[in-house]
């Protein structure tokens, strides 16, 4: 029997609670389908930061590299700025392990009511593929004249041909095998961002020529945000940059009923490094310990772990 070794990072807030339920389900599935999952937990979290000054130890990435996958809850603490938790744990993992695909499905399940009127089960059934290692979140930039009236912050987006092409190609492959619809939408803003987004648009146009069986369209991000509300059933697979994908997937989550149902996978599709699986929702410290946190996003994230 093959053993799959999973690193578990519960994180903060309700992440601690929902991971517990996710592991229960994964254990039950492995017992029923005759494969083995081994879980090792690491206490890397905001509390770890408060105690040590770091979100994870200096050898944390080396430790994680020995696992088949990473199962994460949520990070975030009201007394710690978000950029510390993000840059101290999540982003280093995504970059070190080249998890360039963030895959986020959004499905209106039977028994769940959408805030959009007249939507029936599975009227909304899309997957957003978000570029996960560069773009607007490349963390390139700096400050000048900090704490002076002339203070300036410079944030640079990075769009490489390689980075754009590989996530777009993954999206085409997903559109080809996902269902009969075989439709891919690219999200852009090249009318206003005339450099990086043009690299994106050109990559989409080049690769489209290789997938003549897939219908395509390209939408400006503001129009896409509107259409996610106006006609979400139009969308099948959507590919977007880091920032645009981040925003649009929150819209997709809420129109399918709840952030508590939104699963997510940070993937290295080539399998060279461990992929990381985490729900879309945050740590929700206001409901921690009340026994009301919905574990379904974590459970559905576990299902993604098994599929990949």
User: Is 273 assigned a catalytic role?
Assistant: no
Active-site position among 51, 82, 217, 222 = 222
User: Is 145 assigned a catalytic role?
Assistant: no
The Cα 28–Cα 32 span in angstroms is: 6
Phi, psi angles (nearest 5°) of residue 208: -55, -35
The Cα 236–Cα 157 span in angstroms is: 27
Active-site position among 42, 67, 137, 211 = 137
DSSP code of 90? I
Q: Is 13 exposed, middle or buried (0-12, 13-18, 19+ CB in 10 A)?
A: buried
Contacts with 59 (C-beta within 8 Å, 6 or more apart), sequence order = none
User: Is 170 assigned a catalytic role?
Assistant: no
The Cα 43–Cα 54 span in angstroms is: 12
The Cα 308–Cα 305 span in angstroms is: 5
Residue 67: Cβ within 10 Å count? 20
CB 214 within 8 A of CB 204: no
User: Is 33 assigned a catalytic role?
Assistant: no
For residues 271, 163, 236, 248, the Cα torsion angle rounded to the nearest 10 degrees is 110
Active-site position among 12, 125, 236, 246 = 246
The Cα 24–Cα 232 span in angstroms is: 33
In Å, how far from its chain's centre is CA 53? 26
**Farthest-apart Cα atoms in the chain, separation:** 64
User: Counting every residue, how long is the chain?
Assistant: 308
Active-site position among 189, 211, 268, 273 = 189
User: Which among 288, 294, 271, 245 has a CA at the least distance from the CA of 105?
Assistant: 245
User: Is 137 assigned a catalytic role?
Assistant: yes
Query: Which residues have a catalytic role annotated?
Result: 137, 189, 222, 246, 250
């Amino acid at each position: 029997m093959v053993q799959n070794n999973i690193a578990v990072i519960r994180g903060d807030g309700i992440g601690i609670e929902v991971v517990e339920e996710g592991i229960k389900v994964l254990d039950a599935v492995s017992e029923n389908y005759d494969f083995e999952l081994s879980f090792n937990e690491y206490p890397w979290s905001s509390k770890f930061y408060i105690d040590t000054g770091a979100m994870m130890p200096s050898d944390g990435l080396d430790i994680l590299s020995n696992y088949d996958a990473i199962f994460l809850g949520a990070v975030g603490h009201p007394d710690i700025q978000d950029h510390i938790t993000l840059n101290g744990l999540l982003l280093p993992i995504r970059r070190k392990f080249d998890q360039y695909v963030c895959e986020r499905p959004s499905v209106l399940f039977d028994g769940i009511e959408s805030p959009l009127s007249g939507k029936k089960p599975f009227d909304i059934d899309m997957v957003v593929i978000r570029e996960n290692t560069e773009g607007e979140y490349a963390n390139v930039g700096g400050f000048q004249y900090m704490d002076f009236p002339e203070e300036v912050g410079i944030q640079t987006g990075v769009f490489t041909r390689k980075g754009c092409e590989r996530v777009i190609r993954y999206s085409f492959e997903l559109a080809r095998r996902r269902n009969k619809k075989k439709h891919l939408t690219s999200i852009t803003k090249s009318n206003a961002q005339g450099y990086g987004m043009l690299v994106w648009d050109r990559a989409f146009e080049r690769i489209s020529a290789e997938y003549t069986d897939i219908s395509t369209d390209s939408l400006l991000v503001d129009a896409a945000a509107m259409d996610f509300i106006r006609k979400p059933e139009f969308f099948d697979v959507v590919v977007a940059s880091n920032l645009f994908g981040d925003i649009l997937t929150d819209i997709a989550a809420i129109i399918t009923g709840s952030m508590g149902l939104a699963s997510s996978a940070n993937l290295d599709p080539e399998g060279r490094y461990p992929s990381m699986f985490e729900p879309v929702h945050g740590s929700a410290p206001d409901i921690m310990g009340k026994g009301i946190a919905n574990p379904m996003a974590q459970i559905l994230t576990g299902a993604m772990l098994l599929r990949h």
